[in-house]
Chains A and B, each alone.
Chain A
Amino acid sequence: MSKDNSGVKGALAVLGGAVALILGMVARDKSDMGGIVSRDPLTGVRVASRDGSPTEIEIPERQYFEEMAELLKREYVDPVENDTALLSGAVKGMIGSLNDPDSIFMDKEEFRVFQNMRVGKFEGIGVELFYTFPRATDNKEADGSKNDDLIFPKINVAAVTPGGPAERAGIKPGDVIDSVNDHWIINTDLLIRIRNVAKLVQQKKRPESELQALRVELRKKTESMMAPNRAHDLLTIGTKGAVKVAWLQDGKTISASINKAPSEIKAVTSEGGVISLHMITGVATELQRIFPADGVAVLDLRNNNSNDVSVTRELLGLLGPSGVYGRMKSVRSSEPLEVKTGQAKAKKLTLIVDQTTNGSAAILARALVAKGIGTMQGTVGKRLFAGEVVRLPNGDGFTLVRAEYSEAKS
C-alpha cells in the first residue's frame, strides 16, 4: 500500500515538475511576445474596429525600439551585440525621414570631419558642401499626384578654402557637383525633367526627339552611379590620393583630377579694406582685434553655410547695441534673438552678401540690417536656419534644424 502511495507521489512530483517547467516557458513567451510580435497575425492581439476589420494600434516608440532590438538579438543570423550601433541606425533613419538638407546624420568619420570644419580645418579637396532637394511642387506626376520615388538631393558647393585644392582647380561656391570618379551622382532632377518633358510631348508642345535625348542621357548616366553621401565623403574626407571631379559652373561641365590635401579657412581675413568673415568658433574675438576704431567697415559674408547661431549672437554683441534683433521661430516656439550686453556706440557697416550667404551669416546680415546698423549689398540665400549639433554615444552625430530667423517683432 505504502509502495503504491509513493509511486503516485512520484508520478505527481514528475507531473508537477513538468508543469513548472512548462509554466516557466510560457511565462518567458509572454514576457517576450507580450510586446510587439503578434502571436497570431489574424486573431491574436490585433485590435478590431467596430466593423470588424483590423485597425492599427499604437505601440510607444521606446517600447518598439527596445523590443525590436531584443527581437534582432534573438533571431538574426549573426550575433547582435552592439546596442549603440542599433541606436545610431535608428537615429540615421529618423533624421533621414525629415528630408531636410540641413538636418544630416553623420557617421563617426564624417562627424570628425564636420567638427574640424567648424573650426576652419578642412580635409579632402577643401570644400564645404550642402544638399538641395527638389521642390515638392516639382516632384509631381502628370496628374498632379505626389511622386513616391526616393528623393536624391543635388550636391552644391557652399564654400571653398582659399588656396585649397578645389579653389586651385577652379571650383567656386554655387557650383553643383555632377560626378565623382566618373560615377554620376544620382539626383532626382533628371527624372523630374524627363517627367516634365514627357508631359509636354504628350500635349504635343515638344518633339519626341527631346524626350529621346533625355532618355539616352539617363541610360548613359545610370551605367555608373554613386549615392550623394558617398560622393560627399570622397570629396571631404582624407588628405591623401586624388579624386576625379566633374562639376557644373555657369551651365558648363568642367572636370579635373584633384589631389586631396589639408587646407583651412581663417575666421577673419582682411584685404583691401574688406573684412571677410567665416562663421566659425572664435570669429568674434578675431574680429574685435582688427576692427577699425572709427566703427566703419565693409564685411564680406559670402561663402558661409554654418547654422551655429551662437556665433551670430557673439558677433551681434560686438557690432551692435543690446536689444532684440528679430525672432527664432519654429512651429512650436518663437524666441527673441536677443543681445544682452552690446555696444554703446553703434557701428556703420556695409555687408557684402549673395546666395552663398546662408545660415548664421545670413541671419547676422538680416539682423544687422533690421536694426539699422548695416546696409546689404546683394541678397542672402534662402536658408536662415539655426541648428543644433548632437553627438551620439558611438561617435556618430547629427545636426538638427531647430528654428528659422524672422525679422518679426513678435
Chain B
Amino acid sequence: MKKFTKGFFVVAVFGGLFAAGFCWRDLQQGRFPSARTVTTFMGIDSGGNALSIGQQFQQTFNKISGEYVRATDSKKIKYSAISGMMASLGDPHTTFLEPTIAKEFDIETSARFFGIGARLMPDPLGVKIANVFTNGPADRAGMKASDTVTAINGQVMAGKTPDEIADKIRGPKGTVVNMQLLRPGVPNPINIRVVRDQIITPTVESKILPDKDYGYLSVSQFSAPTAKQFVTEVQKLEQMGIKGLVIDLRGNPGGLLNTASDMLALFAADKVVVSMKERTRTTYERTASGQVRKWNYPIVCLMNEDSASASEIFAGCLRDYGIAQLVGDHSYGKASVQNVLPLRDTASVKITIARYFLPTTPDIGRKVDEDGQYISGGLAPDFPVKIDPNSDFVFGDLVKDPQLKKAVEVLKSKQ
C-alpha cells in the first residue's frame, strides 16, 4: 500500500514536471498553452459543434479554388491567403515571403550579386540616383546624382519600386546593364552602358564644404566598420579646423544597432539609446558605453524619409541628448525589430517581434493610411526643408542642395 502511494507520488511529480516543461514557454509569458496546442500534441482534432476557424478557412478555400468560374492555382491561392492573413495585422513589416521570393531574399543577403555603385531614391518614372560612389562602375560610366533611370535594358521602369529596379540593376560581375537616363537640364534622354562590378560601399565619406569652415560627413549605412570609419573621417575634418559639422543621414536605411550605439557612445557616456519592448519580456533599456570624445563645435544632422532604423536612433538620440539639431524632411519611422523564420516549404515569414523607443522622443512608429501613404511618424526635423523632386538638386552640393544649405545656416547661427 505504502509502495503504491509512493509510486503514485513519483509518477505525479514527474508528470507534473513534464507538463510544466510543456507549458514552459507560455508560463514565461504568463498564460497557459492554447487548447489547440494541447489537442495537437495529443493527436486530437479539436472538433465541437461550431466550425473551428481552421474548418471555416478550409471551407472558404475550397469554395474559392473549386467553384470559381475559371481554372485556379491552388498554391497561389494558399500563399495569397497567408499573405492576406499577415497583412490583416496592419503592420507593413510583418510579411509572408513565398518560396520564390524567399530565394531572392537569400541571394540578396548573401551578396553574390553585383551592382553599379549608386544609391537609389523613388521616382514615379523609375528611380532617381541619390548619389554615385566615387570611382564605382556608375561613376566611371558618367552617371550623376539626380539622374532618373527610366529604362533598363529596354524595359520601361515607370511605376516600379526602387527594390524592383535594384533587382534589375544587379547581376553577375562583368555583365553589362544598359540604362536610359533623364538628366535635369538635358532635353534628350541619355543612354548609358555600365559594367557590373564588386562594390565596396564606403559607409562614411567626408569633405570640407567650400567656405572651409564646415565639415560634411555622409553616413550611408551602419555596418560593422562604420564606427571606426566615422572616427577617422571626423579626425580628418578636425585637423582642417572645422567650426561645425553636418552629418548627412539622408537615404541611410539603417543597419546594425550595435554600430549606432558605439557611435553614440562617442557623444555621451552611459546614456539610454533605446528601450525595447517585446511581447514576451518586460521593457529593457539599452545604453551606450565607450570613450566619450570632445566636440567643440555645433552639429547638425540631415535626414529625409529614406532615413530609417539605426539612422533614426542615431539622429534621435543626438537630439534627445541635446547635442545636435535635425534639418531636412521627417524620417521614415521604423521603430520595430523583425525576425525572419524559414518555413518547411522554403517560404519564410518576417514578423515584428519588438518595438523600441528613443530616450525622450515619443513613439516614432510610421502610420500609413489605407493606400499606404504616409500619415505620421518618424523624427520631425527642427528645421524642415523639403526638396522639390522636379528640381535640379544634388546631394552634398552646397548650391544645389537646399537642405544642406539650411544645415550650414543653422551652424552659422550658433557661432
Residues of A within 8 A of B (CB): 16-17, 20-28, 31-32, 35-38, 41, 44-46, 54, 56-59, 61-62, 64-66, 68-80, 83-98, 100, 103, 141-143, 148-149, 188, 191, 194-195, 198, 202, 208, 215, 218-219, 221-222, 225-227, 229-230, 329-332, 385, 388, 390, 392-393, 400-404
Assess the B24–A90 pair: CB atoms within 8 A. no
Give A64 to B343 CA distance when docked, in angstroms.
Answer: 10
Q: Are B17 and A20 in contact (CB under 8 A)?
A: yes
Given known A-B contacts A94-B61, A400-B63, A76 and B89 have beta carbons under 8 A apart: yes
Knowing A24-B21, A38-B343, A59-B345 touch, does A92 contact B88 (C-beta < 8 A)? Answer: yes
Give complex CA distance A222, B112 in Å: 34
Size of the B side of the interface (Cβ < 8 Å), in residues, is 94
Given A28-B37, A218-B125, A225-B371, A91:B67 Cβ within 8 A: no
Contact B21 A21 (CB under 8 A): yes
Contact across chains for A97 and B76 when beta carbons are under 8 A apart: yes
User: Which of B147-155, B193-201, B246-254 is near enough to bind chain A?
Assistant: B147-155
Residues B64 and A87 in contact, CB atoms below 8 Å apart: no
> Can you add 20 more A-B contacts, CB < 8 Å, to A72-B86, A400-B64?
A17-B13, A25-B22, A27-B18, A28-B25, A37-B342, A38-B344, A61-B57, A62-B54, A66-B36, A76-B89, A76-B91, A76-B353, A89-B88, A96-B84, A148-B164, A198-B151, A218-B159, A225-B371, A330-B70, A390-B63
Give Cα A227 to B82, complex, Å.
22
B94 sits at the interface (CB 8 A) = yes
**How far is B344's CA from A44's CA once the two chains are assembled, in angstroms?**
8
Q: Are A141 and B155 interface neighbours, CB within 8 A?
A: yes
**Is B92 part of the contact surface with A, judged by Cβ < 8 Å?**
no
Query: B49-85 CB contact bits vs A (8 Å, 1 = yes)?
Result: 0000111111011011111111110111110111111
Contact with A along B14-58 (1 / 0, CB 8 A): 110111111111000000011011001100000000000111111
Please name 5 pairs of A and B residues whose Cβ atoms are closer than 8 Å in the assembled complex, sorted by A: A46-B346, A62-B61, A65-B54, A65-B61, A142-B156
Given A56-B99, A226-B371, A400-B67, A61:B21 Cβ within 8 A: no
Q: How far is the CB of A209 from chain B (nearest CB, A)?
A: 9
A149 to B163, CA, bound (A): 12
Chain A residues in 8 Å Cβ range of B86: 68, 72, 89
Cα distance, A93 to B82, chains bound together (Å): 7
| Alpha-carbon separation in the docked complex, A16 to B78 (Å) | 45
Tell me if B37 and A70 are in contact (CB < 8 A): yes
Residues of A close to B65: CB separation below 8 A: 94
By a CB distance below 8 angstroms, the chain A residues around B24 are 21, 24-25, 28
B160 at the A interface (CB under 8 A): yes
Smallest distance from the beta carbon of A58 to chain B beta carbons, Å? 7
A398 to chain B, nearest CB (A): 9
